[in-house]
Structure 1
Amino acid sequence: MPAFARLAAGTALLALTSTAARADEGMWTFDAFPAAKMRAAYGWAPDQAWLDKVRGAAVRLTGGCSASFVSGNGLILTNHHCVVGCLQDLSTANQDLVASGFTASGAAGERKCPGQQAEVVTAITDVTPDVQQAIGALTGAAAVRARDARIADIEKAGCTDPATTRCQVVRLYGGGQYKLYKYRKYSDVRIVWAPEFAAAFFGGDPDNFNFPRYALDVGFLRAYENGKPVTTPAHLTWNPRAPQDGEATFVVGNPGSTQRLLTQDQLAFQREVALPITLASLSELRGRLISAMAQSPERAREGADTLFGVENSLKVYIGRVGALNDPAFTAKLAAAEADLKQRSAANSAIGNPWGDISQAVKAYRDIYVPYRFITPNSELYGYAETLVKAAAERGKPNAERLPGYTESALPLLEKQLLDEKPVYPWLDQLTLEWSLSKAREYLGADDPQTRLMLGKESPEQLSQRLVSGTKLADPAYRRQLWQGGAAAIAASTDPMIVYARQLDARDRELDRLYKERYDAPVTAAQARLATARFAAYGASNYPDATFTLRISYGQVKGWTERGQQVPTRTTMGGAFDRATGAAPFALAKAFTANEARINKNTTYDFVTTNDIIGGNSGSPVIDKAGTVIGAAFDGNIHSLGGNYGYDPALNRTVVVSAAAIDEALRNIYPAPALLAELRRK
């Protein structure tokens, strides 16, 4: 697990909102869409046929984004920032596809994206009784083992054809429900089209999470199977029209994670422990990256995607800190908890879940720092850790393996391990050195874990030795170790493999402590909290986001900012007015070259009240007719507090319009074949 994935680990097992969702709030599962609630607010709601159609066209990308099929020939609509990693991997010093953009020259020119997989939900099955029965009265580590073992068996039984299907049991309502999601997967995904980076990310970090926006944040992929584009009769209809103020909109995608009802103790942990470490560490990494990238144009190219990710994360966490330090916002969260406690006072069956979570959080505070920093941040170390752990886990019965190494998880793990993609040694050494230095800083130089991780070397010495000495950048070498299994890993003298073996026992120990002291008691407590909320508020609540398929409804609508009404949309002509000639407000070359051809009145970006979070990037924005009128790519600055709660007056989704995409394909980055494919019914 990457170093900063540990932040999510402490908050992933969370509960649903404590009161019924209000206004346009809600990331609803498809088997519990609140049709009556929407009908009361809008006078209309989709029927089951409508829901089935859009569900069948929704796509999840394994890079952490959402997407949708928009033709019968496997064409996938998503965001540019969801395909930029692919473009980066396919670029060279002589051909920078991120900067210049990409238009495939026919089917033969569509290029495979390393590590990418597209997945479509085909079935959702409630397996709650099965999993909860396996847990029974067990507690602590025994409860976690029983739960994980039963989940592994359910996933294996649910997908007997791992070449084309993937099964995943998802925990909802903090353990109140378990659902088996079955996916049709496509492991060959290719890039079809993307604009210049300057067009997709016009405004750069200053405009990120803000509006008005003038960004062409869009990209197209295609799913292949057996060397041919897949046939996708379940696809959405392209509708390049301007949005209408007040019209109903739907966002269908896979929101990553939300923590909309942390208990007060969990909120305090975020505010006092996790978020301060994250902000300080990421700020330092940003500075190191900028300094290193300034050393050469090649480093600037190679580090750009990493820097974008760091800056985006920084802004997200700054927004979360702001939300948790806003007295009015946190007062609402405290009041919601107090209301549930009052309503549940007579329900003796739930016990005291708040007290149990409080004790678990106290225990977690003791292990959080070592647990967070035991995994160095390095792509090459990630390969080594995967190989070392997989070698051990694959030798065990499926039910006894660590999550992530079970039979249902191995095909994707193997693909991401073995797909060929570039590794930049300077960048890998930089992130490894940074993460090792932060581990030493937060643990202390004399801590046994620091000595385990560094020995007598400095972070600089160790990272240089490991990165320069390993052969793991070579996919053929990784394949050799993967196929060789435990014997090959035990015999390997590759320094990165040796280092991963060195840290493995401590990593497993900390994972065991986390599950025993935090995961198990919090899961049990949150299952009881879920029961309490259903009793208090009925079934009108939605589960926290889990990077599984959801649907939100809303409308095209602006908001009031500092006394001024923010408009619902921008036009393509506005980009020319906003341009300064200097990055990040320099127009893309194709925009200036084709200015006379562009219809500047075309709606560029627009905002809606849909409730989204990270992971929804690339989600189609759909109208009542079930047609695509845009792709969600961002939220406004207020939406950063959406991790903990939704404010209907301020939270907004930012969308690139289908009209602007259509205009770009016609007059800025001409792709007549792609345009014709989109317009075929």
Structure 2
Amino acid sequence: MLKRILSLLLLVSLSAPFAKADEGMWLPMLIKRLNHADMQKKGLQLTAEEIYNVNNSSLKDAIVQFGGFCTGEFISAEGLLLTNHHCGYGQIQSHSTPENDYLTDGFWAMDRKQELPNEGLFVDILVRMDDVTGKVLEGINNNTPEQERMQLTAQRMQAIAKEASSNGQYVTYVRDFFNGNEFYLFVYERFNDVRLVGTPPSAVGKFGGDTDNWMWPRHTGDFSMFRVYMSPDGKPAAYSDKNVPYKPKHHLPINIGGVEQDDFAMVFGFPGRTKRFMTSEGLKLDVNQLNKSRIKLRDKKLALWKEDMDKSDATRIKYASKHASTANYYKYSIGQNDGIKRMKTVEGKQADEKKFQTWADANAERKALYGTSLKEMNEAYAEIEKYNLGSVYLNEAVLGTEALLFAYRMSALNNALKSGNAEAAKKAAEDLQPRADAFFKDYSMPTDKKVFASMMKFYHEDIAKDQQPEAFKQLVAKYKGDFNKLADYIYSNSFVVDKQKVDKFLANPTQKQLANDPAFALVNSIMENYQTNIAPKLAAANAKLAKANRLYVAGLRQMNPDKVYYPDANSTIRLSYGSVKNYKPVDGVTYETFTTMEGVMQKEDPSNEEFIVPAKLKQLYEAKDYGRYANKDGDLIVNFITDNDITGGNSGSPVINGKGELIGLAFDGNWEAMTGDLVYDPDYKRCINVSANYVLFMVDKYAGASNLINEMTIVSTDSPGATEAGTATAATPADSSAELLNAAVKEAKADLAAGKSSVKVKKKDGKKSVKLEVKN
């Protein structure tokens, strides 16, 4: 048996064409038709079928949607899953206590029994996707009334998804693409037993904190590990100690050969939402209203949270995940506004729209179909602007206050109690109990009270008075605009901020008690006002906008028949491709492609919690004890950048080389290209990744979790399939390299079986050769 392959050298004559940034998040089932030839020119050595295949294992089988908000990838045949530290942060935080502070100290399961279950966490694994545009739009044309079209498409999407679910065996949905011009079905298996396996301390996983967030250069070990479990018969199942590790159809070999400028890279994952077909008026609305409001409200909330987090370890742990999540898009909004102005994006969109209007008006048929789409969009945006703050502040200020959000979650119980349906009320109360337990586990009433006073003051000052509920205005008048006194009244008299009172209420709920609760009454009045006076107006404007958008995008594609368009991201599985690439953020400055441990130590600041370096990591650095994970210069690569097109939801996505091997995982974008959701920046767009070398170094040398290393397939050089741990089975690239390696491995095994203690094998095929040295 092969115990250790000490060295492997594959010499291949390959051209390295100059690579430029590639815009687009592509549907994997369309790669063969749209992108494969271009990807090959940049260094891809896999066939399209090795990337996406319904009937045979392919890269897609190694990719999962993690919790519905991030991406993960299988890195062993035993269901071991890699994702970002910030993606698993909520689970890490939920298991942390002041006595077992996994956020600060990290956590490593040294055997399967130590792995920690996570209620509510799931992963979705793609089974297949299908183009169902013809089924959804059958009999529908541009003469179909819009309301009828909306009803028909919604009904058909639901029916197609239901049929594909096989009576609930699969999670299915149909999503629209190109603003309602195309439709695709997605079929997933959902696994609900996902256990925490390992995480570095936050001093590694969040190194640089908010200061470095969205910035390059970075030195962050943003990763965590989980394991997916299934029932003994191979089916998805709820948590049980009888479950066994999931056996993925494919897992990613991990290449620790390092990265260099212009190396091919693809990112495979679940990008969230982009709006790149948005017109200039929509961009102005996002910049001037949505982002400005989000920045203002989150800035205040973050400051209030941090103030109390700094005073108490218990509060710090409770609010760590909430603070990190809120801070992420607070900073993103700032960067996005700056980027839109720098790129003159609005002006560019206006020029494009002028060209479109000229094209549409040049032909009577086109004018009839597309001629008014821009005008109607502008009218819709003008109407949305009048009421949009009511929507933004509802989410950011009202429901962004924890007590009000929890009170709002009692609405279903309130409705059941009002209707007199005792069975429904009992069920609603039972459903609320675990939510209440989770809520109070991470809740500080004094902290939330300060947030409430601040958020309600902003709501009073910034929302048009005719859009505020009368009950709220009366409360403000009663307390003469003193929001601290208003907060005193709410938090002294509401039972929803007290765990014992909530438990007592849920044991015997009455509609009178809930209706009279001041927190519930306040949030209920704001919500009813929104649903009555604001939501209908926004819905009408958005319906008008949707039709105009659909026609505009259809017209664009018709106007430019030779251009290959990609659809906006919508949390469905996508692939982007590009290269390891440096960039110049400003004149006279070049940012290199990777950072090393040297930079971690240069940033160290023991007085700043964002830049603390754990003692053991310092020891490993001082000894230069990087093991096999150092590069050819003896340095340990921590992070690297590529020009892949990504957005939120791609967090945790694998960065894969041309042979289908993992070289890192995406965790951030760069400050200079925060416009990514709205417009692609070919000069500045970069994807920031944690190196596979740093991940394995932390697991192996720092944590000593050799049990995890041993189950991975680790590639020791840039050759496919060479392993230093686990199996010696080769990967399958699209050239003869795998055949050479497999032949060498086969010969080596035979020699070892014959009693030889060491083996040297050399195989040649034209310009390609492989040398294999093995010790038993």
TM category (shorter chain) comes to 0.7 to 0.9
Q: 3-state DSSP class of the match of 1:301?
A: helix
User: Which of 18, 30, 33 is matched with 1:32 structurally?
Assistant: 30
What is the CA distance between 1:165 and its match in structure 2? 2.7
Between the aligned partners of 1:88 and 1:367, the Cα distance in structure 2 is 37
User: Which of 325, 329, 334 is matched with 1:318 structurally?
Assistant: 334
Match of 1:533 in 2: 556
Q: 3-state DSSP class of the match of 1:82?
A: coil
2:670 is aligned with 1:636: yes
2:578 is aligned with 1:580: no
Query: 1:530/1:463 Cα in 2 relative to 1: closer, same or farther (>3 Å)?
Result: same
2:705 is aligned with 1:678: no
Question: Quick check: 1:370–1:449 contact (8 Å CA) kept in 2?
Answer: no
Between the aligned partners of 1:41 and 1:638, the Cα distance in structure 2 is 28
Question: Quick check: 1:417–1:478 contact (8 Å CA) kept in 2?
Answer: no
What is the CA distance between 1:522 and its match in structure 2? 1.4
Query: TM-score scaled by structure 1?
Result: 0.85
2:419 is aligned with 1:423: no
What is the CA distance between 1:389 and its match in structure 2? 4.9
Match of 1:13 in 2: none
Question: Quick check: 1:209–1:634 contact (8 Å CA) kept in 2?
Answer: yes
Between the aligned partners of 2:61 and 2:377, the Cα distance in structure 1 is 38
User: Which of 236, 243, 247 is matched with 1:231 structurally?
Assistant: 247
Q: Give the stretch that moved more between structures: 541-550 or 383-392.
A: 383-392
2:226 is aligned with 1:221: yes
What is the CA distance between 1:244 and its match in structure 2? 2.8
2:274 is aligned with 1:258: yes
What is the CA distance between 1:320 and its match in structure 2? 1.2
Q: 3-state DSSP class of the match of 1:355?
A: helix
Query: 1:592/1:384 Cα in 2 relative to 1: closer, same or farther (>3 Å)?
Result: same
Match of 1:294 in 2: 310
User: Which of 532, 543, 558 is matched with 2:582 structurally?
Assistant: 558
Q: Give the stretch that moved more between structures: 170-179 or 651-660.
A: 170-179
Match of 2:50 in 1: 50
Question: Quick check: 1:443–1:450 contact (8 Å CA) kept in 2?
Answer: no
Structure 1 residues 337-416: aligned runs within 5 Å: 337-345=353-361, 346=363, 347-348=366-367, 349-375=369-395, 376=398, 377-389=400-412
Match of 1:437 in 2: 457
2:692 is aligned with 1:658: yes
Match of 2:87 in 1: 82
Query: 1:180/1:509 Cα in 2 relative to 1: closer, same or farther (>3 Å)?
Result: farther
Paired AA for residue 289 in structure 2: V
Consecutive unaligned residues in structure 1, runs of 5 or more: 1-21, 397-409
Q: 3-state DSSP class of the match of 2:194?
A: strand
Query: 1:115/1:488 Cα in 2 relative to 1: closer, same or farther (>3 Å)?
Result: farther
Between the aligned partners of 1:62 and 1:678, the Cα distance in structure 2 is 23
Q: Which has the higher contact order (CA 8 A, sep 6+)?
A: 1
Structure (1 or 2) with the larger CA radius of gyration: 2
Q: 3-state DSSP class of the match of 1:81?
A: coil
Query: 1:447/1:212 Cα in 2 relative to 1: closer, same or farther (>3 Å)?
Result: closer
What is the CA distance between 1:216 and its match in structure 2? 0.6
Between the aligned partners of 1:669 and 1:69, the Cα distance in structure 2 is 20
Q: 3-state DSSP class of the match of 2:295?
A: helix
What is the CA distance between 1:250 and its match in structure 2? 0.5
What is the CA distance between 1:133 and its match in structure 2? 5.9
What is the CA distance between 1:418 and its match in structure 2? 8.1
Q: Give the stretch that moved more between structures: 215-224 or 384-393.
A: 384-393
Q: 3-state DSSP class of the match of 1:553?
A: strand
Between the aligned partners of 1:344 and 1:264, the Cα distance in structure 2 is 18
What is the CA distance between 1:334 and its match in structure 2? 2.8
Paired AA for residue 598 in structure 1: D
Question: Quick check: 1:261–1:333 contact (8 Å CA) kept in 2?
Answer: no
Paired AA for residue 381 in structure 2: V
Write out per-residue CA displacement over residues 524-556 of structure 1, whole angstroms, 9 at most, x where no aligned residue: 111112211221223611111112111000001
Paired AA for residue 540 in structure 2: R
Question: Quick check: 1:420–1:475 contact (8 Å CA) kept in 2?
Answer: no
Between the aligned partners of 1:246 and 1:559, the Cα distance in structure 2 is 12
Match of 1:400 in 2: none
2:620 is aligned with 1:594: yes
What is the CA distance between 1:677 and its match in structure 2? 1.6
Between the aligned partners of 2:526 and 2:684, the Cα distance in structure 1 is 46
Question: Quick check: 1:598–1:668 contact (8 Å CA) kept in 2?
Answer: no
Q: Give the stretch that moved more between structures: 281-290 or 414-423.
A: 414-423
Match of 2:570 in 1: 546
Between the aligned partners of 1:280 and 1:300, the Cα distance in structure 2 is 23
Query: 1:90/1:428 Cα in 2 relative to 1: closer, same or farther (>3 Å)?
Result: farther
Between the aligned partners of 2:471 and 2:437, the Cα distance in structure 1 is 34
2:182 is aligned with 1:159: no
Query: TM-score scaled by structure 2?
Result: 0.75
Match of 1:116 in 2: 121
Match of 2:733 in 1: none
What is the CA distance between 1:39 and its match in structure 2? 4.3
2:199 is aligned with 1:194: yes
What is the CA distance between 1:194 and its match in structure 2? 0.5
Between the aligned partners of 1:45 and 1:331, the Cα distance in structure 2 is 40
Match of 1:406 in 2: none
What is the CA distance between 1:382 and its match in structure 2? 3.6
Question: Quick check: 2:176–2:184 contact (8 Å CA) kept in 1?
Answer: yes
Structure 1 residues 98-109: aligned runs within 5 Å: 98-109=103-114
Question: Quick check: 2:104–2:203 contact (8 Å CA) kept in 1?
Answer: yes
What is the CA distance between 1:467 and its match in structure 2? 5.9
Between the aligned partners of 2:589 and 2:335, the Cα distance in structure 1 is 22
Question: Quick check: 2:468–2:529 contact (8 Å CA) kept in 1?
Answer: no
User: Which of 209, 224, 227 is matched with 2:214 structurally?
Assistant: 209
Q: Give the stretch that moved more between structures: 294-303 or 351-360.
A: 294-303
> RMSD of the alignment, in Å?
3.5
Between the aligned partners of 1:678 and 1:582, the Cα distance in structure 2 is 38
Query: 1:563/1:514 Cα in 2 relative to 1: closer, same or farther (>3 Å)?
Result: farther
User: Which of 163, 180, 184 is matched with 1:179 structurally?
Assistant: 184
Match of 2:682 in 1: 648
Write out per-residue CA displacement over residues 100-135 of structure 1, whole angstroms, 9 at most, x where no aligned residue: 111124222211234322112222233434545698
Write out per-residue CA displacement over residues 157-182 of structure 1, whole angstroms, 9 at most, x where no aligned residue: 332444x5322232221222232222
Between the aligned partners of 2:149 and 2:49, the Cα distance in structure 1 is 40
Consecutive unaligned residues in structure 2, runs of 5 or more: 1-19, 53-57, 230-236, 420-427, 627-633, 714-725, 728-776
What is the CA distance between 1:153 and its match in structure 2? 4.0
What is the CA distance between 1:248 and its match in structure 2? 0.8
Aligned residues: 641
Between the aligned partners of 2:500 and 2:113, the Cα distance in structure 1 is 24
Question: Quick check: 1:275–1:321 contact (8 Å CA) kept in 2?
Answer: yes
Q: 3-state DSSP class of the match of 1:530?
A: helix
Between the aligned partners of 1:310 and 1:186, the Cα distance in structure 2 is 28
What is the CA distance between 1:567 and its match in structure 2? 1.1
Between the aligned partners of 2:647 and 2:298, the Cα distance in structure 1 is 20
2:329 is aligned with 1:305: no
Between the aligned partners of 2:342 and 2:209, the Cα distance in structure 1 is 27
Question: Quick check: 1:56–1:120 contact (8 Å CA) kept in 2?
Answer: yes
